[in-house]
Amino acid sequence: MAVSAKPKPDLQKKVQEVPHKPGVYLMRDRFNRVIYVGKARDLRKRVSSYFLPSKMEQADLKTRAMLEATWDFETHTVRSEAESVLLEGKLIKEYRPRYNVSFRDDKRFLVVRVDLSEEWPRFRLARFKKDDGSRYFGPYAHAGALRQTLNFMRKKFGVLTFGRGAPTERELKSSTYQVPVRLSEISAEQYRERVAQACEFLEGKSREMIVALEQQMHKAAEKMDFEKAAELRDMVEHLRDTTKPTRRFTRGSLPSAIDPIADVRELADALKLPRLPRVMECFDISNISATHVVASMVCFRDGVPDKDNYRRYRIRTVEGQDDFASMAEVIRRRYSRILLEARAAHPGAAEFSQENAIDAMERISRHPERSRGTPLQNAQVTQRGSSTSLRSPRNDESFVAVRLPDLIIVDGGKGQLSAACRELQRLGLHDLPIIGLAKEREEIYRPGRALPLRLPMNSGALRLLQRIRDEAHRFANAYHQLLMKKRVEESILDDCPGVSQHRKNLLLRRFGSVNRLRKASVEEIAATEGIGRKLAEEVHQFLQRH
């Protein structure tokens, strides 16, 4: 007997309960999956407009399909329109709704960064907050208002808002930085006092300044100088948009936020793992160009990033773009290092069955191609309590504590997974759980299984894997971009007279970067092997001019 489909609910009555406040709204389908996230200055007006009888007739195909699939909705109010923009972006990145297009890539709102360790700190725009000791302000939803605020800060506080290093000759002569005296007439220490005032301004301590601008605006209006009054009015609005307190929506403050531990349990059930994957390590290869092929390893603990245990690698033994060989190299380097560290920490704890672990790892490192297909039966992965250990087959009572993950994830399909499995087998880590996640269809490949596993798109387990994979991808790309940037900076030495490729390598090996070389004295440069006094003077003068 056929079961009749559940009738679609009438949402008109629910719309009347929505408040006239700014916020975000989430459209859900019959399976309670989020299919669209939107923001509104007035939630009641925006949401009710979707359910007007004329909406279906006038809507485009995409909106019509979304409305036909919508069986429920929910709303969340915020304090301002700017907060609704921030929250909308966070929710779209979390739920990945099928009918949303924007915010699904790696775009971020602007933040203001100032590195107080610099001699002449500058206020610069950035997309990401890094743990680099700098001070960050934001994020800011209104990019235009933020840029106008930085213009105001240049004139009001006389601080530098773009570029790098000490003030240029043009900046020293500019009347913009004259508060109350020009940059050329103050010391770096006096300039830092201006920076401190500007930081307080960005922290929201700007009420007196805004009041003063409003008074100037009213005076300009009284004098019939409406153009000046309008300019001051816009400036006041920009300052208010930039400096008013805005909530930062973190994982715990998101509406209907994810539950990391629940997702970990769901993943263990889906993969039929022997224990909860509380520690997971995910690997990704970034080979945007063959110049720098790099890899990343990110670690998630209890479903959230453990950034202290992130690692990044430059691929050494692979020529060209070969994802399979690159994945094999990084897996080999990661876990052979762990085995070596365990052996060094407990030299007498275990006797290995085929060969000494250190000799084996050194042999693999020197000649990886000779060891393919020759698994090292040097230890067995066992579980004692909550810690993963290596047990010697000759001595059951000897345990060596090893920082092995509960699950390894490789970004890719069968090829990447097979390459990783071969390396683990050669290291004797036969029982270490590992999967491959193919991005195109989000298919999960497992060793010894011909067909991939596909989890529901709204599955917490799949969303957890996606978060891990996306984080590994972000971390690998960030490292790749860092190396490319460094290479571009180093290329300036190619134009320096008298500096061959060999001498360039000597200088970079000694000083580490062009930036450090630029700060070095002639005597320090001349102390480099193969660099004489005359060439050191030429290099120093060249870098000061460029």
* Nearest by Cα to 412 from 437, 376, 375: 437
pTM over 0.85: no
- Alpha-carbon distance of 482 to 480, in angstroms, equals 5
10 Å CB burial of residue 430 (0-12, 13-18, 19+) is: middle
Q: Quick one: pLDDT at residue 206?
A: 59
The pLDDT assigned to 484 comes to 63
Tell me the sheet residues that pair with 125: 112
Q: Quick one: pLDDT at residue 14?
A: 86
Q: How far apart are CA 401 and CA 391, in angstroms?
A: 9
Question: What's the pLDDT at 409?
Answer: 96
| Amino acid in the structure at residue 279 | V
The per-residue pLDDT for 235 is 65
Q: 3-state SS string over 270-281?
A: HHCCCCCCCEEE
Mean pLDDT per segment of 10 residues, for the chain of length 546 residues? 61 86 89 88 90 76 85 85 76 81 54 86 82 79 75 80 80 76 82 82 68 75 75 66 55 58 92 94 78 85 92 85 90 92 66 40 48 40 45 44 84 92 92 89 89 85 90 82 62 70 76 78 83 82 76
Distance CA 36, CA 34 (A): 6
Run of H or E residues at 511: helix 501-511
pLDDT at 289: 52
Q: Smallest Cα–Cα separation from 108: which of 144, 151, 143, 146?
A: 143
Judge whether 300 and 468 are in contact, CB under 8 Å: yes
Residue partners of 211: CB distance under 8 A and separation at least 6 = none
* Helix, strand, or coil (residue 141): coil
CATH 3.40.1440.10 fits 12-95, yes or no: yes
- State whether the Cα torsion 61-62-66-69 is positive or negative: positive
- Alpha carbons 303 and 334: distance in angstroms, whole number: 21
Give the C-alpha distances (Å, rounded to integers) separating 484 from 61, 137, 374, 505: 43, 27, 37, 17
In whole angstroms, what is the distance from residue 86 CA to residue 89 CA? 5
Three-state DSSP class for residue 389: strand
Distances (CA, A) of 227 to 72, 236, 516: 49, 14, 49
Q: Distances from the Cα of 516 to the Cαs of 249, 253, 384, 521, in angstroms?
A: 38, 42, 49, 10
- Angle at 96 (CA atoms; ends 48, 27), nearest 5 degrees: 20
Token pair 């019939």 is at which residue?
Answer: 224
| Cβ within 8 Å of residue 361, ≥6 positions away | 336, 339, 340
Please give the Cα distance from 144 to 9 (Å, whole number). 42
Contact between 372 and 426 (Cβ < 8 Å): yes
Q: Quote the tokens at residue 498.
A: 């008298």
Task: Name the residue type at position 410.
Answer: V
For the chain, helix (H) and strand (E) counts, in that order, are 19, 17
The tokens for 299 are 């670690």
Q: What CATH architecture does domain 496-545 belong to?
A: Orthogonal Bundle (1.10)
Which residues, at least 6 apart from 423, have a Cβ–Cβ distance to it below 8 Å?
328, 331, 332, 335
* pLDDT of amino acid 351: 42
Tokens of 209: 């300044």
Domain boundaries, the chain: 12-95, 110-243, 260-477, 496-545
- Pick from 28, 27, 33: nearest CA to 457: 33
Residues 388 and 381: beta-carbon distance below 8 Å: yes
Query: What's the CATH architecture for 260-477?
Result: 2-Layer Sandwich (3.30)
